[in-house]
């Protein structure tokens, strides 16, 4: 491990310990709160992204679009799943004089360092989609990932109440993956305790990688003579890897496979009967809520929310969007919502097998 990375991780660990030791979960920064921006000054928002893979390109486009509509400017950086790079990019954003920092972190623990840096300069910080382990946050804007994990496990149990299960979790560095894992375990507990369900493999897919999911499922299929009832995958990317493994064994349509994010490839697999479901997390309301909240913070306006989410020792104001189960029977909801186009979703389905457009 490079010495710079060691220092970075050590810094993050020390920061977390300081948070935990803080009285009542109070902010550790002693910097004065940033004053509301001059109403005539253009608000400058820094958007620090982990990646542009999967749905994240759409998040970027929508955040920049909404900011422009509100007369604000966004400077976006992408860390390519590199913690050290993300911290450096945040430093660059701060040097540009941003009023608000929106962070979609790669690692929720290490990103606490970025929050500290921002707060020392009196910059408001919004944790976007993934929770950062920092009590200094001003706001958390996300989908309810606990609900998403519960939906996946409940769907699998309804379809396959008995049999061998494979659980493919998301990246271990992503707090959302850990939240979903815990919720899946709660839902499956009674079925596992009764012996109706046996979890024959459960493993994290590093960086939510389809290739990692493919290997996890291939090994589990081999070790269990293809006797698998359901594969609870935490997103559509890992579901794609699982389905690739099932195809090679002629098991498509015989095994329940869950997903999340309503990616186009996942939606196409659902349309074809390969993937059972996905958890749809509407991106537009999430992105818009983040930008609108950033503008309000910069202007000194109140954000209307009664919900909170615990970071380390402190409850952080929480704006959330409810997810929704999408399966073959309600795929058209995705079209009606404007999330994806009809012709793209059903591109691999014969015309006479497609649902009507209206």
Q: Which two tokens stand for residue 317?
A: 């104001």
Write the CA distances from 45 to 27, 89, 93, 166, 181, integer angstroms. 22, 13, 9, 42, 33
Q: What is the pLDDT of residue 40?
A: 67
Q: Secondary structure of the chain: what % helix, strand, coil (to 5)?
A: 45, 20, 35
Q: Are 43 and 294 in contact (CB under 8 A)?
A: yes
User: What region does 261 belong to: left with phi over 0, alpha with psi -120 to 50, or beta?
Assistant: left
pLDDT in tens, the chain (358 residues): 444 444 444 444 434 333 333 333 333 333 345 554 566 679 999 999 999 998 899 999 999 999 999 999 999 999 999 999 999 999 999 999 999 999 999 999 999 999 999 999 999 999 999 999 999 999 999 999 999 999 999 999 999 999 999 999 999 999 999 999 999 999 999 999 999 999 999 999 999 999 999 999 999 999 999 999 999 999 999 999 999 999 999 999 999 999 999 999 999 999 999 999 999 999 999 999 999 999 999 999 999 888 999 999 999 999 999 999 999 999 999 999 889 999 999 999 999 999 998 7
pTM over 0.95: no
Q: What is the pLDDT of residue 28?
A: 34
Q: What is the pLDDT of residue 358?
A: 74
CA–CA–CA angle 320, 325, 329 (5° rounding): 150
Write b or e for each residue in 6-33: b if 16 or more Cβ atoms lie within 10 A of its Cβ, otherwise e: eebbeebeebbeebeebeebebbbeeee
Q: Which two tokens stand for residue 95?
A: 């040097």
Domains identified in the chain and CATH numbers = 19-143+283-321 (3.40.50.2300), 146-281+323-353 (3.40.50.2300)
What is the strand order of the sheet 230-233 is part of?
197-204, 163-169, 230-233, 256-257
């Amino acid at each position: 491990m490079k010495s710079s990375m060691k220092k970075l991780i050590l810094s993050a660990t020390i920061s977390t310990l300081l948070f935990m030791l803080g009285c009542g979960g109070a902010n550790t920064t002693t910097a004065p709160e940033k004053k509301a921006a001059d109403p005539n000054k253009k608000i400058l928002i820094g958007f620090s992204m982990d990646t542009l893979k999967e749905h994240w390109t759409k998040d970027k486009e929508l955040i920049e679009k909404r900011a422009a509509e509100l007369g604000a400017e966004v400077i976006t950086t992408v860390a390519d799943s590199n913690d050290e790079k993300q911290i450096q990019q945040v430093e660059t954003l701060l040097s540009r004089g941003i009023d608000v920092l929106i962070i979609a972190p790669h690692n929720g623990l290490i990103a606490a360092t970025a929050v500290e840096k921002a707060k020392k300069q009196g910059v408001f910080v919004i944790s976007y989609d993934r929770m950062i382990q920092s009590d200094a946050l001003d706001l958390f804007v996300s989908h309810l990932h606990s609900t998403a994990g519960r939906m996946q496990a409940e769907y699998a149990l309804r379809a396959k109440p008995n049999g061998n299960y494979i659980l493919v979790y998301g990246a271990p560095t992503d707090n959302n993956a850990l939240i979903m894992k815990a919720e899946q375990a709660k839902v499956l507990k009674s079925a596992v305790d009764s012996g109706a369900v046996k979890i024959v493999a459960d493993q994290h897919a590093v960086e939510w990688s389809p290739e990692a999911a493919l290997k996890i499922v291939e090994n589990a299929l081999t070790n269990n003579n293809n006797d698998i009832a359901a594969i609870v995958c935490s997103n559509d990317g890992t579901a794609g890897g699982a389905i690739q493994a099932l195809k090679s064994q002629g098991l498509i349509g015989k095994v329940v496979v869950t997903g999340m994010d309503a990616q186009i490839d996942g939606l196409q697999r659902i349309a074809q009967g390969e993937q059972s479901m996905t958890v749809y997390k509407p991106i537009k309301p999430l992105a818009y809520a983040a930008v609108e909240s950033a503008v309000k913070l910069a202007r000194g306006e109140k954000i209307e929310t009664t919900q909170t989410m615990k970071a380390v020792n402190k409850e952080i104001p929480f704006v959330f969007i409810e997810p929704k189960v999408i399966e073959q029977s309600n795929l058209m909801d995705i079209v009606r919502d404007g999330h994806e186009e009809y012709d793209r979703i059903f591109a691999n389905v014969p015309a006479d097998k497609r649902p009507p457009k209206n």
